[in-house]
Amino acid sequence: MYIPRKARFWAVSLGHLVNDMFMSMRGVLLAFINSFLWPMTGREIGLAISLVELTGAISQPFFGWLADKTGGRLVGSLGILWTVGFMSLAIVIASAGGSYWLFVLPMALAGLGSGAFHPVGAMHSTGSEPSRAASNAAWFFLLGQLGLGIGPALAGLILTQTHTHTGDLLGQPFPAAGFRFIETGTAVPVIALAVLVFPAAFFMGRMLPTSGRHISAAKSAAPAEPFHIPVLPFIMLIAAVALRGVSQISIVSFMPTILQSKGWSPADYGLLVSSFWIASGFAGVLLGNLGDRFDSRRLIALSLLISAPCVYLITETNGAAIFLLAFIIGAMGGSHSLIVVLAQGLLPGRQGLASGIILGLIFATGALGNLLVGDLIDRFGASSAFHITAVITILGAGLWLFLPKAKPRVRSAEISEALPAKA
Report pLDDT digits (tens) over 39-72. 777 677 778 877 887 888 888 888 888 888 888 8
**Burial (CB count within 10 angstroms: exposed 0-12, middle 13-18, buried 19+), residue 21:** buried
CA-CA distance, 131 to 54, in Å (whole number)? 32
Cβ(112)–Cβ(55) under 8 Å?
A: yes
CA-CA distance, 77 to 30, in Å (whole number)? 27
The confidence score (pLDDT) of residue 220 equals 56
Q: Quick one: CA dihedral 91, 93, 96, 101, positive or negative?
A: negative
CA-CA distance, 138 to 20, in Å (whole number)? 15
Report residues of the chain scoring pLDDT below 50.
165-181, 224, 409-423
Cβ(61)–Cβ(123) under 8 Å?
A: no
Q: Longest C-alpha distance within the chain, in Å?
A: 79
Cα torsion for 399, 303, 26, 75, to the nearest 10°? -70
Q: Quick one: CA dihedral 369, 340, 295, 314, positive or negative?
A: negative
The confidence score (pLDDT) of residue 171 equals 47
Cβ(129)–Cβ(136) under 8 Å?
A: yes
CA-CA distance, 17 to 91, in Å (whole number)? 20
> Which H/E stretch holds residue 210?
none
Q: Which residues of 257-292 are buried (b: 16+ CB within 10 A; e: fewer)?
A: bbbbeeebbbbbbbbbbbbbbbbbbbbbbebbbbbb
| Residue 133 CB neighbours (<10 A) | 26
The confidence score (pLDDT) of residue 56 equals 83
The confidence score (pLDDT) of residue 1 equals 63
CA-CA distance, 210 to 208, in Å (whole number)? 7
Closest to 79 measured CA to CA, from 155, 16, 168, 171: 16
Cβ(302)–Cβ(286) under 8 Å?
A: no
**Burial (CB count within 10 angstroms: exposed 0-12, middle 13-18, buried 19+), residue 247:** buried
The confidence score (pLDDT) of residue 100 equals 83
The confidence score (pLDDT) of residue 109 equals 92
The confidence score (pLDDT) of residue 246 equals 74
CA-CA distance, 270 to 24, in Å (whole number)? 10
Q: Which CATH architecture has domain 7-418?
A: Up-down Bundle (1.20)
C-alpha 111, offset from chain centre: 11
The confidence score (pLDDT) of residue 149 equals 75
The confidence score (pLDDT) of residue 421 equals 41
The confidence score (pLDDT) of residue 154 equals 83
The confidence score (pLDDT) of residue 423 equals 39
The confidence score (pLDDT) of residue 82 equals 93
**Burial (CB count within 10 angstroms: exposed 0-12, middle 13-18, buried 19+), residue 375:** middle
The confidence score (pLDDT) of residue 215 equals 61
